[in-house]
Amino acid sequence: MKRALLTGITGQDGSYLAEFLLAKGYEVYGLVRRTSTPRIDRIAHLKDRITFCEGDVLDGVALRQALSETQPDEIYNLAAQSFVGASWSAPLYTANVTGLGVLNVLEAVRQVCPNARFYQASTSEQFGDATESPQNELTPFRPRSPYGCAKVFGHNITVNYRESYGMFACCGICFNHESPRRSEEFVTRKISKAAARISLGLQDRLQLGNAQSERDWGFAGDYVEAMWLMLQADAPKDYVIGTGETHTVMSFASIAFEHVGLSAWDLVDWNAGDCLRPADVASLCADASKIQVDLGWKPTVQFKQLVVMMVDADLQAEAG
């Protein structure tokens, strides 16, 4: 039975990955921070099947202890301050957790279990103001936010440790991936929840930022399989993970509101000042041909399916 340690296990990706690994017969360990009121709602249905270790990616001693106690075969580093908008108001915290946190985990792995396989959660936000479209593994990074800058460091230090120490360490450059478990500050969940609430008479309007921002949106449950496949490969490689299709924020909102019999044009206030960022990324689109050829991975959930799935989940939650 393989053992896997997940940082960020209480997040969207961590919850889907934990489910996936448990179904594969893994022993799953989750690194969680000591807090007065730990949030485990996304993994509450799994808590009796997961072994939790107290620790933090900023605490090297705790990381080494967790690795020593669990002796994992695979480590998935999903921990981060992952909301782009918040990185503008908390740039130092974002740099520490999302950037230096990766170095702390890698160094602990190198010292305690150097033969373990390591996955780093990279992001399409690293491409930022991209020089080409679609973006692949050779596209230069041009981040446009503190979050993107921190993720570039995490990506590059992972590559550095792989090349310097011969570690099986790789980065999955995930494009936007959503689900009903997405945090409510993200625009997709903000839209799906508002559509549900407005249709139920619980909310009047929705404020959003740039209607024309384009993203490559997929389903988080598909993307965790790609993460796992990367650590089963013969050699560590970095891969772009995405659908290869782009849709605007307006398109997402239109489908969400239409699903509940409403019009986004009538109920959404666009370009709301509080929703605009100091610097934005206009469009991101994945060229995921490398992972499709090498590992046989392809997304299974289409864009409209994803939007409807999220709205239906919020309808059920709000009506319940």
The residues that are catalytic are 123, 125, 147
Continuous segment of H or E residues that includes residue 135: none
**Alpha-carbon distance 197 to 176, whole Å?**
24
**Alpha-carbon distance 39 to 207, whole Å?**
27
Dihedral pair phi/psi, residue 133, rounded to 5°: -145, 135
Task: Yes or no: say if 19 and 222 are a contact pair by the CB < 8 Å rule.
Answer: no
Any idea of the CA torsion for 243, 248, 251, 253, to the nearest 10 degrees?
Answer: 110
Biggest alpha carbon–alpha carbon distance for the chain: 58
Tell the burial category of 28 from Cβ atoms under 10 Å away from its Cβ (0-12, 13-18, 19+): buried
Task: Yes or no: say if 222 and 299 are a contact pair by the CB < 8 Å rule.
Answer: yes
